[in-house]
Amino acid sequence: MMSPQEYVASLFDLTGHVGIITGASRGLGLGQAKVLTDAGATVYNLDLAEKSDEEEIREGHMIDVICDVTDYEKVKEAVAGIAEKEGHIDFLINNAGITYKCRAEEFPEDRLDKILEINLKTPYMMARICYPYLKESKYIGRIVTISSMAAYMGFTGVLPYDMTKSGVLGLTRGLAEEWKNDNILVNSVAPGWFLTKLNEGMFAQNPDRKAAALQKPMLPKFGEPVEIGYMMLFLLSGASTYLTGRDFPVDGGATVHGF
C-alpha cells in the first residue's frame, strides 16, 4: 500500500506519458519541457529551430522535430510519425506564439495575418491533427494552450496579439465542450511577465518599460519559465482530472491587481 506521500508523488509522475510542445526550443516552452521531462514525460518539440537553447535537456526525454507548425500537412506527417514510434500521444501543448508592436491604425496586414495564423489558427489545427491520438490516451488526453494576461487586459500597440489570445479562451471553451465525451480535457494557461530572451530584448531597448512592468503584478517580480512548467505539470497530472474548459493565469496577480 502506498503512503500518503507516495500517492501524492504518483499523481505528478508522468513516466510513460508522451506529448508534443510547439516552440519549446527557448523561453516559456523550454521551461515547460524541463519540468515535464523531469517528471518523466517524453516531449517532442515541434519548432523551426534546429536545436534547443539548452542542450542538456536533450539528454533526458526531449526530442526536437524540425517543423513549421503552420505547414499542416508536414505537421500531420510529424505527428503520425511520433504516434507510430511511441505507440500513443497523451498531451499537446500549444506554446508557439508571436507578436509585433505597432499601433492598430498602422498595423501591416501581412503581420496581422501571420499573428492570426500562428497564435490562433495553428492551435486549432494542432488540436485537430492530434485529436485521434489524444482520445485514445490511457491517461486521458490533454490539450493546453498558452493564452496571456493580454486576453484580459488591453496593451497598447499589440492589438492582434490581444485579439488572438482572447480567441484562445474561446478555443479552449469550445473544444472542451465539443470533446467532453472523447477522453480529452482542454485548458489554457495565461502567463504574466516572464524574463524570456524576447522580453529581455524588449526591455534592453526600453528600460522604462521594464520598470513599468514590475508595477503591474501584485508580486513585484518577473516569473521564471519553469513556473509555467509547474502549472503545465498540474494540468497534465492525475491531480487535475476534473478540470476542463478553464484558463489558469500564472501572472503574479497582474490580472487582479488593485490600487
Q: Does the annotation count 161 as an active-site position?
A: yes
Residues 173, 151 contacting (CB under 8 angstroms): no
Residues 6+ apart with CB under 8 A from 182: 131, 135, 141
- Per DSSP, the three-state class of 82 is helix
- Strand arrangement, sheet containing 141-146: 62-66, 42-47, 18-22, 91-94, 141-146, 184-191, 247-250
End-to-end CA distance of the chain: 51
Which of 139, 161, 230, 242 is flagged as catalytic? 161
All cell numbers assigned to 17: 506519458
Using CA of residue 49, residue 112, residue 170, residue 178, what is the dihedral sign?
Answer: negative
The residues, any chain, with a CB within 8 Å of residue 177's CB and separated by 6 or more, are 245
Number of helical (H) and strand (E) elements in the chain, helices listed first = 9, 7
Which residues are catalytic, by number?
Answer: 161
